[in-house]
Structure 1
Amino acid sequence: MTLQLHITSETAQLKAVVLGTAESNVPIPEIKDCYDPKSIEHLIAGTYPKESDMVKELDAFASVLEKYAVVVYRPKVIEGCNQIFSRDMAFVIEDKIIRANILPNRIKEVKAIDYVWNQIDKENTIILPEACHVEGGDVIIWHDYIFVGTYSGEDYSQYITARTNMDAVIALQELFPNKTVKAFELRKSNTDPKENALHLDCCFQPIGTDKAIIHKEGFLITHEYEWLVNFFGKDNVFEITKEEMSAMTCNVFSISEQVVVSEQHFKRLNTWLRKQGFTVEEVPYAEIGKQGGLLRCTTMPLVRA
């Protein structure tokens, strides 16, 4: 049976999604094998998350998705592999799925969702040229816009946290000439999670029909941050601190324009969301957050109404 993809915004009613798995997760890694400063921070502190806790958190999220009649796909479990962050694998724009050129040693994670790829018409499966580096966390679909987080510094190759380059931005514009592709330069650090916007969705995310969560210092260029604030309107923007960005407070997930799934400890954000009229589904996700990703990072939406 063919799977008809459809994604034109971040907040339309979710119908189908790939949700990551923590089953048979990689053993506690060495610092040299980590992809982000948040994981390193918790390794040093001795607070790196346990597989059993992360399995429970993902299952709690799956229960909320199923409550709203969302079809939930899970990756096939690969022994000793971190398969939590489905957003890194690929992303959908309109009726096309674009495979991310992720870190080379993570390519087997892509194979774990082959059974989903095989349900999609070949003409709608896109693999970008090797020179185009992109991960789904850097790509945010908002109606006529595709917002893309990037880093174009000459020291790009020195940052394991730099995941999306300008070649990918250009390729997306060529693939979707009917949309405006707008790039944002992100702040990168291999060592300090409070100074590192790993992906665009770590420092910015639209919610509802006209609102957004944002962290100013996640952006390298002030006027690009200001463009977003002006685009949504200052009164519609929830500004978060460095500490909140490091805790992944931008990385909530919309089931619809009215329903947002958020981490249970995000008290300041969750109070604001409810005051704006949102239904907030709180889940425990702090252990997964210790690896530098949260709710949006663990999902790959396939169909929204």
Structure 2
Amino acid sequence: MKVASMPQVKTDFDTLKEVIVCSPRAMEIQEIINDTQEEYAGSNIDKKEAVKQHNNMIEVFAREQVKVHTLAVDEALPEQVYTRDLGVVIDNILVVGKMKQNIRKKETEVFKGWLKEHGIKYYEITKGALEGGDVVISKNNIYVGQSGRTEASAIEELAVLFPGRSVEKVPIEDKYLHLDCVFNPFSEEYALLYPDAMSEEWADTLRSRYKCIEVTEEEQFNLGVNIFSIGQKTVISQDKCKRINKELRNAGFTVYEVSFSEIIKSGGCFRCVTFPISRQ
């Protein structure tokens, strides 16, 4: 399938045209690297069900006329389904990040091979760890979580690439993995927010900029914040997040409800498993 000749993403909620995913066929909790995996390590992941759930998400993209590009599965990479963390497209620059955890570092090598195969130019972060789940793009703002996975030096390197943008560092507690697990703007007006993951000052700042739907501790643990915007006031959310989905609909959004019970066991949901390469 032909890839867009020029990657282009201005916000996380413009209309999605093309996205990169990877099947969870090799998904497994092999090495516990977050609190969610610790909770589910005993039961681990039903790979067959995970693939079915992932395919159900892809069917939503097909319905919305989104081109889906699929990375080849490397059986040695159990976290490869989480393509978001490979990097980010901002404006027309594709940035390849740098994974913090050893178990995930080879994922970016596989991704760079795919990009070269398709003739897509990229910039690679060199000065520290940066994972795409910590990068949130909204209007003129780029929010970057300074987390257990993304370092200040990498955020500074990213800021140099986008002098016309306001790149803002948002410190969050390490246990929350990435910024998009606690803060997720899904339109110019609205965002999901779990304020306890950050300072009161930052929570108040985000409340002043967005109409925030705030989530509970349980909803955050179950990755309720990590919905995915297709654009045009349409999102994908977990079927079990009933209260959140009701709030989204009350705000005027179309909500595709998809079960992701197996995939969230490793610590990520819809935004985590999608790498938007083109939005318009």
1:10 aligned residue: 12
Q: Quick one: distance in 2 between partners of 1:24 and 1:128? A: 27
Deviation of 1:145 (Å) = 0.8
Asked if the contact 1:201/1:251 (under 8 Å) is kept, the reply is yes
Q: What residue in structure 1 maps to residue 135 of structure 2?
A: 139
Of residues 58, 70, 74, the one that matches 1:74 is: 70
For residues 130-183 of structure 1, what are the alpha-carbon distances to aligned partners after superposition, in whole Å with 9 as ceiling and x for unaligned? x321100000011211000004xxxxxxxxxx0111111211111100000011
Deviations 1:56-94 (A, max 9, x none): 111000110111111101111112422110011121111
After superposing on structure 2, the runs of 4+ consecutive aligned residues of structure 1 that deviate more than 4 Å are none
Structure 1 SS opposite 2:56: helix
Cα root mean square deviation, aligned: 1.5
Q: How far apart are 1:50 and its partner, in Å?
A: 1.1
Superposed CA offset, 1:209-251 (max 9, x none): 31010001111x210111011111xxx2101011111000100
Q: CA deviation digits over 1:19-49, x for unaligned, max 9?
A: 12112334x52xxx22211101111xx3322
Tell me what 1:164 maps to: 150
**Shift of residue 117, structure 1, vs aligned partner:** 4.3
SS in 2 for 1:297: coil
Q: Which amino acid in the other structure matches residue 116 of structure 1? A: L
* In structure 1, distance between residues paired with 2:72 and 2:109: 9
Given that 2:22 and 2:73 are in contact with CA atoms closer than 8 Å, whether structure 1 keeps it comes out as no
Question: What CA distance in whole angstroms lies between the structure 2 residues aligned with 1:174 and 1:139?
Answer: 15
Does residue 65 of the first structure (1) align with residue 44 of the second (2)? no
Contact 1:262 1:295 in 2 (8 A): yes
What does residue 225 of structure 1 align with? 203
| TM-score normalised over the length of structure 2 | 0.94
1:89 — aligned with what? Answer: 86
The CA deviation string for residues 112-136 of structure 1, in whole angstroms up to 9 with x for no partner, is 33223433443xx10111x321100
Percentage of pairs with the same residue: 29
| Equivalent residue number for residue 190 of structure 2 | 211
Q: Aligned ranges for residues 144-155 of structure 1 at < 5 Å?
A: 144-151=140-147
| Separation of aligned partners in 1, 2:142 and 2:157 | 12
CA distance in 2: counterparts of 1:177 and 1:257, whole angstroms:
28
Whether contact under 8 Å (1:21, 1:55) holds in the other structure is yes
Deviations 1:169-211 (A, max 9, x none): 21111110000001111012xxxxxxx2110000000012310
Secondary structure of residue in 1 paired with 2:106 = helix
- Gap regions ≥5 residues in structure 2: none
**Would you say the 8 A contact 2:170–2:202 is kept in 1?**
yes
Q: How does 1:1-305 map to 2 (within 5 A)?
A: 3-26=5-28, 28-29=29-30, 33-43=31-41, 46-82=42-78, 83-102=80-99, 103-113=101-111, 114-122=113-121, 125-129=122-126, 131-151=127-147, 162-188=148-174, 196-219=175-198, 221-232=199-210, 236-305=211-280
Partners of 1:270 and 1:25 lie apart in 2 by 27
Conserved 8 A contact 2:155-2:169: yes
One-letter code of the match for 1:215?
Answer: Y
Distance 1:148 1:115 in 2: 25
Distance 2:116 2:143 in 1: 24
Taking a change above 3 Å as real, the CA distance of residues 117 and 137 of structure 1, as seen in their structure-2 partners, is farther
1:11, CA displacement in angstroms? Answer: 0.5
Contact map agreement 2:144 2:167 (CA 8 A) in 1: yes
Counterpart CA distance in 2 for 1:88 and 1:96 is 16
> Would the aligned equivalents of 1:25 and 1:80 in 2 still touch at CA under 8 Å?
no
Q: TM-score w.r.t. structure 1 length?
A: 0.86
Checking the alignment, whether the CA contact within 8 Å between 2:98 and 2:108 is kept in structure 1 is no
